[in-house]
Structure 1
Amino acid sequence: MARIIVITHEHDRFMGNRSLLLRRKSRYLLFDILEDLKRRGHSVRIQPGLTGQISADVAVLHVDATMTPADYLDYARSFPFCLNVGAADISKRRISGALLAEGDGWLGPVIVKSNLNNQGIPETRLNRRSRRAGQPAPFAHVPALSAYEVYQSRDDIPDGVSEQHDLVVEKFIPEKEPDGFAVRFWVFCGERERCTRYVS
């Protein structure tokens, strides 16, 4: 059976407290996959932060941040096989297919968002926990959180927004519903998959 190590940020709480039934829980989907791997006989170790070399057959880099710090990438590469090393930058400027470019001719509504994944909430959380531990914020560059704004056209965007490096402007292409909008999530691992649709 495989020895699996999951590398998390030193201030991340991959697993939450035990429930009333004394079961562990986590906000991360990877947790359920790891629980299944344990039931199949694999050993799993959660490794918060960077430590000396630990022996493992497979490592999973799971730093909950838009851009994984270089020292975590170096540590992850020290293992014979590591998942997620190629996903070290998931900023919208890097992965979005809806970014507006000058002269692209888009005439529809637009949305102004943080360049960071999930509005930078994970980085804000790690900064807060780091400060509580008496350490410097690992993501000191994270701007204050602000709501996403939708505009009817590019011309309606306030002056200066397009020049702010921490913001991006994307085409707003919603899946409309009578009561609001729908969003879809597709989660997969190997031959298993799940697609969910939420309306708000």
Structure 2
Amino acid sequence: MARIAVITHEYDRFQSRRGILMRRDSPYMLFDLLAELKRRGHSARIHRGLSSRHDADVAVLHVDATVTPADYAEYARGFPFCLNLGATDISKRRISGAVLNQGDDWDGPVIVKSNLNHWGAPEQHLNRQAERAGEATPFPGARIFDQYQVYASPADVPPETFARTDLVVEKFVPEPEPDGFAARFWIFCGDRERCTRYVSPQSVVKGDDTIRRESVPVPEELRVLRQRLGFDYGKFDFVVHEGRAVLLDANKTPGRARNLSKVVAAGTANLADGFESLIRRAV
């Protein structure tokens, strides 16, 4: 049985106690995955912030920020094996297959997004927690950009937008359906995975307004990209445009499924199998 360390930012709260019974809760998918691993006999400990301890067989680098600070990555390297040690930068400018630069050959619709994961909300949260503690903000200058702006063509985008480092301009390539639009979500841990195609009436598919879903295969080019980006565990959001998979978002700290159905439970058990395959590889 393995000892597992979960490395989080010192100002992040991986789990908390809620409700009358003060049960532990968490917004992260890894929380349920760890619960399943504990049922199988493994142990897990949350390491908030940097420490001199490396008393674990396997670690998970679970800093909820677009770019993991260098000192956290260095601390993670002290463990015998650490998941996602290669996935320290998930900015849109690095991972997206749809990013445009001014002057690129594209005259179709475009969408403007934050370069940061989840609009920059994780960085804002960590900054606020640091300020409350009277410490320097870990991500100075990070701002929330929680809107998607769609333009008919790159020519309609204000020129200063292309120059901003906190924003990206992407090709707007939704996957059209007769009754809406589709997006695909690939969740994986080690050699286990699930990939689902969601259809929504909205052109920006977010998963909570879908009208149907189906399991789909994972394109081989995404498997190659996952290896290149250094992901052992996480979630990729993508579409298939003109027969080619286009990665739009990559998340190394995916959120927890609130629907505690048998389907979700089976998916968690499957991912736990993948985690154990990584443990065996580490040992």
Asked if Structure 1 and Structure 2 have the same fold, meaning a TM-score greater than 0.5 normalized by the shorter chain, the answer is yes
State the match for 2:57 in structure 1.
Answer: 57
* 1:7-66: CA deviation from partner (whole Å, max 9, x where unpaired): 000011101323456542211111111111101100100111011223110011000000
How far off is 1:175 after superposition?
A: 3.0
State the match for 2:154 in structure 1.
Answer: 154
Distance in 2 (alpha carbons) for counterparts of 1:172 and 1:16: 38
Identity among equivalent positions (%) equals 63
Which structure is higher in RCO with an 8 Å CA cutoff and minimum separation 6?
2
Distance in 1 (alpha carbons) for counterparts of 2:193 and 2:108: 33
Give the counterpart letter for 1:117 in structure 2: N
Residue 99 of structure 2 aligns to a residue whose secondary structure is coil
Would you say 1:132 and 2:125 are equivalent positions? no
Q: Quote the RMSD (CA, aligned, Å).
A: 2.0
How far off is 1:130 after superposition?
A: 1.2
Distance in 1 (alpha carbons) for counterparts of 2:181 and 2:25: 29
Q: How does 1:8-19 map to 2 (within 5 A)?
A: 8-19=8-19
State the match for 1:94 in structure 2.
Answer: 94
* 4+ residue runs over 6 A deviation: none
In structure 1, stretches of 5+ residues that fail to align are none
Query: Is the 8 Å Cα contact of residues 19 and 25 (structure 1) preserved in structure 2?
Result: no
State the match for 1:123 in structure 2.
Answer: 123
Distance in 2 (alpha carbons) for counterparts of 1:34 and 1:107: 46
In structure 2, stretches of 5+ residues that fail to align are 199-206, 211-283
How far off is 1:184 after superposition?
A: 3.0
Distance in 1 (alpha carbons) for counterparts of 2:22 and 2:76: 32
Distance in 1 (alpha carbons) for counterparts of 2:17 and 2:175: 36
Distance in 2 (alpha carbons) for counterparts of 1:147 and 1:23: 34
State the match for 2:172 in structure 1.
Answer: 172
* 1:68-122: CA deviation from partner (whole Å, max 9, x where unpaired): 0011011001111111110011111111110113554212110111111111111
State the match for 2:224 in structure 1.
Answer: none
Distance in 2 (alpha carbons) for counterparts of 1:178 and 1:121: 34
State the match for 1:42 in structure 2.
Answer: 42
Give the TM-score, by structure 2 length.
0.65
Give the counterpart letter for 2:122 in structure 1: P
Give the counterpart letter for 2:29 in structure 1: L
State the match for 2:248 in structure 1.
Answer: none
Distance in 2 (alpha carbons) for counterparts of 1:88 and 1:163: 24
Residue 65 of structure 1 aligns to a residue whose secondary structure is coil
Q: How many residues align?
A: 200
Give the counterpart letter for 2:147 in structure 1: A
Give the TM-score, by structure 1 length.
0.91
